[in-house]
A and B are shown apart, each in its own frame.
Chain A
Amino acid sequence: MSAVVDFPVKPEARPYLEAFGRDRRRGDPAWLRGYRRRSLARFAELGFPSRRSEAWRYIDLRQLEQRPMLPTARPTPVVTSALATQLAEIGLAEPSYRLVLVDGKFAPELSSLDQLPSTVRLGSIAAAIAERPDLVRSALEAQSPDRPFASLNAAFFAGGFVLDIAPGIALERPVEILHLAAGDAAGALYTRSLVVAGQDSRATVVESFAGSGDYWRNDVIELRLGAGSELTRVTFVAEGVDALHFGETLARLDEASRLSGFVLLAGGRTVRHDVTVRSEGAGSRCDLNGVFLLSGRQEANILTTVDHRAPGGETREVFKGVATGHAHGAFQGRITVRPGAQKVDAHQLSRNLVLSPRAAIDTKPELEIYADDVKCSHGAAIGDLDEAALFYLRARGISNNEARRMLIEAFAQEAVDLIEQAPLREHLRSRLTRRLATLEE
């Protein structure tokens, strides 16, 4: 693309436009080149969101605005000991179908996919674009054009995965996706993925993010749940201390399907986890639960939007937030019930602990209801640890630090305990405990 453009450009978008111009992307088919160009134009027009925009009022983007994080052309990663450590930190102990992405790129030598049944296809998005362009194309075009960072992702994505489960298949082992960052140079990692759960299929996908160095991860994923399918999706964010992590999920739920989502935000300097669920088929159910644990100068936002477009849907949300030090956490959850989506039953809970005088938590649970025969409620609370509970533990000879840790753990664990699969629950519990050990230092 030439430096002269025929669309309006916000100043902060300029470096990205120039980077796009330098990048040739010879491998892309024509439709993808056009799609990327359109997405970039959209981003250039939108620019960075400001705090005036509701979805971005609780996050500080100044640093990113002042210092553009451009995609870096990275060499094929070599497996270093640092990567091996990351893997051990976040990997599941139980047997899994494992796909490892290093800097967004598929690393076959770290992955183990040989046991995968032939009815399930799991591979890099690059391979899927080559083999099944229509599937990828329809997923890309389903994304809303009004999300600036998803548009930027569309322009630049170089990695990611596609998981396609045939109808009626129930996967015994979890599918594990490990996103690692090798930390060679400062820059942005754009990954784009797709999960298709066929009719009446059942699967668990665990995505874990870790890395070292100074990087911005921009990850966009679409989940498609066919009628009657059940998908459990766990996200564990344990990015490096200087990392920015923006994750966007779009899930579409067909009739009587069920999505169980869980997120644990433990690492990274600025983390955003944004989930949009569209309940398109009658009687679908969606569980979204999660925890953020923040200290130092960490900042994290969890955003959920559940859009009931069909009758008889059910939503349950439990989010727990903990902030200490100078950290800032925010939860923004919206449940919409469209006209005609009768008999929807939705409940949302946001509970938060502010543990230090400099920490801050914001919460904005939101209901938007256009149908009358519904049951919708939400609750939110922000406070400190219960003095009486603390006293009770101290009176039994438990040190102040230990007592506080126990109470925080019990508080956060309530959300973790909603994970139905026992091994997965244990895995996240242990990650939670590990994070708590360093939380109040």
Chain B
Amino acid sequence: MTASTETLDRVRSLSQEGYKYGFVTDIEAETAPPGLNEEIVRFISAKKEEPEWLLEWRLAAFRAWREMTQPDWAKLNLAPIDYQAATYYSAPKQNAGPKSLDEVDPELLRTYEKLGIPLREREALAGVAVDAVFDSISVATTFKEELSKLGIIFCSMGEAVREHPDLVRKYLGTVVPQNDNFFAALNSAVFSDGSFAYIPTGVRCPMELSTYFRINAAKTGQFERTLLIADKGSYVSYLEGCTAPQRDENQLHAAVVELIAHEDAQIKYSTVQNWYPGDAEGRGGIYNFVTKRGACRGARSKISWTQVETGSAITWKYPSCVLEGDHSVGEFYSVAITNNRQQADTGTKMIHIGKGTRSTILSKGISAGRGQNTYRGLVRVQPRAQNARNHTQCDSLLIGDRCGAHTVPYIEVRNPSARVEHEATTSKISEDQLFYCQQRGLNAEDAVSLIVNGFCKEVLKELPMEFAVEAQKLLAVSLEGSVG
């Protein structure tokens, strides 16, 4: 698929090229004035021709946000963010909505070409429906027809608000309320666009749904909002991947993802996050503050998060599962890499509410250079969660003596029948393994890459196949220059 093998190979061959997606597309943008106030919220809502209820919803979020302060509990060292200096709306200029790909701005298409997203000729080959988000507006959606035959709705959030207002209104903010946290409130107030998917009762989505995110216009924060609903007995696998152009200024990204799984439904959500991490000295790079949460509403439902986090200067992200339905299942598989001056504070929350709920957490953290990598996770068993089970494994790998790896698990049990286990280890790459590989002719870098891939294998195997290939290459790219 996408960001495909050959692209990555090309990048690998360009040795000291640095970040491979570092280019800026020149498209005339229609941009809101910088700053955030009620007027801007109204501007965004008006631009998107939203109904009154959604404007009110945004305004409520904005008012909540104004009362909140940026959380400081994460192990992150960042300069204060000036929220009034950012721009909260930017849309690629288009004369009218594109009817087909031919009408899409060729500049835009070339950008995707460079990113390796097969919007057109490769769409069949890749077998992926891509809802490509460029800055804040969805440009094209493919495979829609095929999906709609099954009753599956897959479109941009803006379109969903227009075409399926009842569904959006019913579910939006029910997993991550507007006032959930500082960044979620910010997103709720100014979210620009995002993806929406609804899988009807009993339908197994025949292909992986996918979105590519991309930050472009200068000083533009990205505020994606994704809402995914799997109705009774349905199944969907969703891929999210992102790259961003190189830039010196820190860019703010505060996304919200809400998943809802009804009775017997399954959602598999996979992410490869490769935002621009900043240069070797920590200049630039994306600030990534994401709220991702899934609600297992129905009995026997299942939500599985898999993430490969290699990018961003700052990552603040805790994909969580609220296990409300009896015997529902939550999973979290994560690989997080920090190199140079990257900082990641990431993990999950598993809230066991229903009887017989189960969760699995598998987290692999890799720190290199001066990177700081923190696993922070909560497992909470509520009094009613009879026979709840959790197993958590988090391993950290250190490459070099100037990085840090931290593990902060919270385990809170309110029911005697629960069984919760947590294990964590921290170590460096074994000299023996390195020696063994090098003795067989691998150079140090390839040896590290091989060992790291082995270390992450349990997580990578949870990714859909094409994504897994991409992720493996990304690991290697991310760790370039960390040894030797």
Binding site for B on A (CB under 8 A): 54, 339-340, 342, 352, 354-384
Residues of chain A within 8 A of B416, CB atoms compared: 354-357, 359, 384
Residues of chain B within 8 A of A383, CB atoms compared: 418-420
Is the CB of B347 closer than 8 A to any CB of chain A? no
Dominant secondary structure of chain B at its interface with chain A = strand
Residues of chain B within 8 A of A363, CB atoms compared: 411, 422
7 A-B pairs in the complex with CB atoms less than 8 angstroms apart:
A363-B422, A365-B407, A368-B406, A372-B403, A379-B422, A380-B423, A381-B422
Identity of the chain A residue whose Cβ is nearest the Cβ of B413 in the assembled complex: A382
Q: Which of B183-191, B392-400, B437-445, B454-462 contacts A (4 or more CB under 8 A)?
A: B392-400
Among B401, B414, B423, contact of A372 (Cβ-Cβ < 8 Å) = B401
Say whether B422 contacts A362, CB under 8 Å: no
Query: How long is the Cα–Cα vector from A354 to B415 in the complex, in angstroms?
Result: 7
Query: How long is the Cα–Cα vector from A371 to B403 in the complex, in angstroms?
Result: 7
Say whether A367 contacts B426, CB under 8 Å: yes
Query: How long is the Cα–Cα vector from A19 to B117 in the complex, in angstroms?
Result: 72
Say whether A369 contacts B409, CB under 8 Å: no
Identity of the chain B residue whose Cβ is nearest the Cβ of A331 in the assembled complex: B411
Q: In the complex where A354-B418, A367-B424, A375-B427 touch, is A380 in contact with B398 (Cβ < 8 A)? A: no
Is the CB of B466 closer than 8 A to any CB of chain A? no
Is the CB of B408 closer than 8 A to any CB of chain A? yes
Identity of the chain B residue whose Cβ is nearest the Cβ of A368 in the assembled complex: B406
Residues of chain A within 8 A of B75, CB atoms compared: 368
Among B404, B408, B410, B411, contact of A370 (Cβ-Cβ < 8 Å) = B404
Say whether B401 contacts A371, CB under 8 Å: yes
Is the CB of B417 closer than 8 A to any CB of chain A? yes
Residues of chain B within 8 A of A339, CB atoms compared: 401-402
Interface range on chain B: under 10, 10 to 19, 20 to 34, or 35 or more? 35 or more
Identity of the chain B residue whose Cβ is nearest the Cβ of A336 in the assembled complex: B406
Residues of chain A within 8 A of B381, CB atoms compared: 382
Say whether B398 contacts A369, CB under 8 Å: yes
Is the CB of B163 closer than 8 A to any CB of chain A? no
Query: How long is the Cα–Cα vector from A358 to B410 in the complex, in angstroms?
Result: 19
Query: How long is the Cα–Cα vector from A379 to B409 in the complex, in angstroms?
Result: 10
Say whether B424 contacts A377, CB under 8 Å: yes
Identity of the chain B residue whose Cβ is nearest the Cβ of A380 in the assembled complex: B422
Say whether B402 contacts A54, CB under 8 Å: no
Distance to closest chain A CB from B430 (angstroms): 11
Is the CB of B428 closer than 8 A to any CB of chain A? yes
Say whether A369 contacts B413, CB under 8 Å: no
B183-235 contacts to A (CB < 8 Å): none
Residues of chain B within 8 A of A369, CB atoms compared: 396, 398, 404-406, 426
B364-410 contacts to A (CB < 8 Å): 381, 383, 396, 398-410
Among A54, A365, A377, A379, contact of B426 (Cβ-Cβ < 8 Å) = A377
Identity of the chain B residue whose Cβ is nearest the Cβ of A375 in the assembled complex: B427
Identity of the chain B residue whose Cβ is nearest the Cβ of A340 in the assembled complex: B401
Say whether B407 contacts A378, CB under 8 Å: yes
Say whether A376 contacts B425, CB under 8 Å: yes
Among A359, A362, A381, the one with the most B-chain Cβ atoms within 10 Å of its Cβ is A381
